[in-house]
Amino acid sequence: MINEQKILPLGSVVKLKNGDGSQLMIIARASIIEEKRKEVYYDYGSVLIPQGMLAPEAVYFFNRENVNEVLFYGYENEEEVKFANEYDSMIEKAQVVKGTVE
């Protein structure tokens, strides 16, 4: 297992370590994006609360280790539990480098 902390469900609201106190709602997971001319993945893609998605480029990417506090735990059904349980093995198979938050 890559990380002992399970992946959070969509709709979860968090604050980040070393952040400015903004609340972020998770809207995507395992997003692969291009950074510095190479593909990387992030555990989460999110939007600011209360603004939401103002534009596609306004998605904030971060990883499990960047979460300081979970303010709201998102929707969870059987499919979500299965996805969370398989997340780390899915990521390992993808062979994409993990992005880092500076």
Question: In angstroms, rounded to a whole number, what is the distance separating the alpha carbons of residues 39 and 77?
Answer: 31
**DSSP class of 72:** E
pLDDT tens digits, one per residue of 28-85: 999 999 998 999 999 999 999 999 998 888 899 999 999 999 999 999 999 999 999 9
Q: Which residues contact 36 (CB under 8 A, 6 or more apart)?
A: none
- Residue 2: inside a domain: no
- Pair type for strands 67-72 and 97-98: unpaired
- Residue 1: inside a domain: no
On the question of a cis peptide bond just before residue 56, with omega within 30 degrees of 0, the verdict is no
Residue 5, pLDDT > 80, answer yes
- Residue 24: inside a domain: yes
User: Using 50, 70 and 90 to split pLDDT, how confident is the model at 4?
Assistant: low
Domain that holds residue 26: 13-97
- Residue 6: inside a domain: no
- Residue 62: inside a domain: yes
The beta strands (E) that lie in 24-84 are given as 24-35, 38-48, 60-62, 67-72
- Residue 44: inside a domain: yes
Residue 3, pLDDT > 70, answer no
Q: How many domains does the chain have?
A: 1
Q: What is the pLDDT of residue 83?
A: 96
- Residue 40: inside a domain: yes
Q: What is the pLDDT of residue 57?
A: 84
- Residue 48: inside a domain: yes
Any bridge partners for residue 24, and if so which?
Answer: 14, 48
